[in-house]
Structure 1
Amino acid sequence: MDYSQQKENHEQEEDEFLDLLSIANASIAYQAMHLSKQPSMTSSYAGYAWMRELMAEDTNPIKCYNMFRMHRDVFNNLTRDLVTRYGLKGSRNTNVEEMVGMFLYMLGHGIGNRVAQERFQRYGETISRHFSLVLNKVCNMGKDLIQPIDRQFQEVPEKIKKDRQFYPYFKDCIGAMDGTHIQAVLPTYDQIRFIGRKGKTTQNVLAVCNFNMEFIYVCVGWEGQAHDTRIFYDAIGRRDAQFPHPPPGKYYLVDAGYPNLTGYLGPYREVRYRLPEFRQGPTPTGHREVFNHAHSSLRSEIERAFGVLKMKWKILTTMPNYPYKKQVQIVIATMALHNFIRKNAVTDTDFETADLDPEYGYSVDHDVVNEGTSASNNNAFLDMAHLRDEIAMNLINS
């Protein structure tokens, strides 16, 4: 056998040896990963046991509230409604209570899938599947909850009727409108158009609330750079948006970032407006400041509603890396839950705190008043400007 033949045989033997070594290493790795791996879900305190303890009558009720952001009776009512009215069903290994608990725990604490896996001792696919299922059902519930009870707004709101600061001056006011920014997580190539105020990627959300801090309309999904006025015109102009337009003679309170169209009453510009400015400064003087103080005090309902929303559901400020469509759904779901708690809870710490503090929402999400474009040359503006002057003079004369 010549030298070249020997060299070829040697190289072939070396290749065969390397192939065998590679196969052996792969076998060892497979065994370590799939055959001899240490189980990860080994805690004896699994999710169903934890849920059973929290729901027990002899357990301190504050534990349920801290974990799920609602009291036990509200949790039970929510679970019942999701089952009976919206078709939520448990799986073979997970009952409905644990599924809803997972969902609320993740929303309330702003945690991702991996932390939920450890808390509930469930695998990631299970957590993800149940979270998405409950999310869809709660969003369906939002279609029923996020709307006015009476679209004709025939009754004067109790908050106005019982407060001499507001009645009879604002007797035709039916709610407050404003926008807020919710943290959004986007891929790098799509971030620029979502960069809102403070240089962060956000979702711009428009909402309307009544004077019980309940949301009656929400427009979600807009990129952070979208101007509030653009979102406003889109919301009131779309036939499929179900926007609760104010009936003739009624109106919403808006800030200076919105146009003074018929049905939307804004404050006077170039004078103090926000409540902290009045608290830190002298008593309001002149009809414009007196009006702005009353207007801001009443419109703070939407600020406080946003404040409760973001304090209760931490996921809105620490959004995990979900697809953007799911992030939009999460905003709708938290607002639906917000309304559900407000309607069903006898007591709720977050709402009670906001009820007692007129400036509650300002510390959580202090929006800068945007001196937006106003329709200053049309009849609609003149009508609302006349109404504003009339209310202002009645306030100062009283």
Structure 2
Amino acid sequence: MKLHNISFGNIKRRKGKMLFLVLGLVIGISTVVTLLSITESMTRNIEQRLNRFGANIVMVPKSENLSLNYGGIDVGGVSYNVREFDQEKLANIRTIKNYKNLSIIAPKVLGPVKVKNKNVLLMGVVFEEELALKTWWHKIGGVFPEKENEVMLGSQAATLFGFKIGDAISLLGKPFKVTTILKPTGGSEDDAIIAGLSASQKLLGKEGRLSMVEISAFCQGCPISEMTLQIAEKFPFAKVTAMKQAVMSKMQSIDMFKSFSLGISLIVILIGSLLVLVTMMGSVNERTREIGIFRAIGFRRGHVMQIILLEALLLGIIGGILGFGIGNLIAYGIIPLVIKDGMFVGINMNLGVISILMAVALSLLASLYPAFKASNMDPSEALRAL
């Protein structure tokens, strides 16, 4: 009789106890899979939300002066003598080492213009990039500019000058049409007139020049700090700043949840391992006569250990597969309740392989001592139980 046939036969005869052993593994593995799936879904959800928050890398010309502006309040009339970027060199950003992590590059030109004898900020943008970057921009009405002679107004600028959609506006003697008025955002665009990049450069006499560049480069695990340094190397006269506060705070929250999840998982796995140990010990004690007969008819200690460990291996595989499947089902049902608008990220086959290996390892480790005890059983002592 082959050893694996003995192991199969023992599992069939002791279905109740083996089911209890598998249940311990399933609880442990399914808990780990559920928590890790929820964590991955949270990470994806936050990544998508942060991608909608706009730029997290800002590139502006270097200045030898300190800013005297805080929270939108300017406390000094310092005249800044700064360099502007050459628009032709903007493509160099796409040559950095981590260029694949770059998402949106939104160049801008800034300058003052007079409207009704009042100074107002003119912001020239590439509307396609800007609207993709700032998804929180919503129209009060109208359509976003598509032509060079079309502009949109921030909510405060429109209120101050009394402009409405369709009105004509003169900027430095050039006629423009107001096609959009933005809803209040709380940002600098509330006080600005926003026009196309090319038209603004011509108005301000800054053809081929850029005042600043906003970059969206967030993704899970993106080396934001390294990317900042890489961009700075390409533009030595620029000050490149990573807007990491929002990213770091969110990712720290995820890391804390991951740590909590791993802690809970370890506790549950420990409980599952104890269930395996107790069940296997009980099985060995019940099988004293059987083990004694095996030893009496010539089975070596290694054979006895192989029989018990093979049982543990088979039960570990079954527990790992069931635990992985149940864990995914639980995560699929719980994620919409835990995360608003959250979605199950799908079955991670790598996690499935890890789950099965983990269940097998736990089952084998918890069965080592019972197997060792069984293999060292004295045949004469065992046969006295007959």
| TM-score of the superposed pair, with normalisation by structure 1 | 0.23
Higher Rg of the two aligned structures: 2
- Between 1 and 2, higher relative CO (CA 8 Å, sep ≥ 6) is seen in 2
| TM-score of the superposed pair, with normalisation by structure 2 | 0.23
Answer 1 or 2: which has greater strand percent.
2
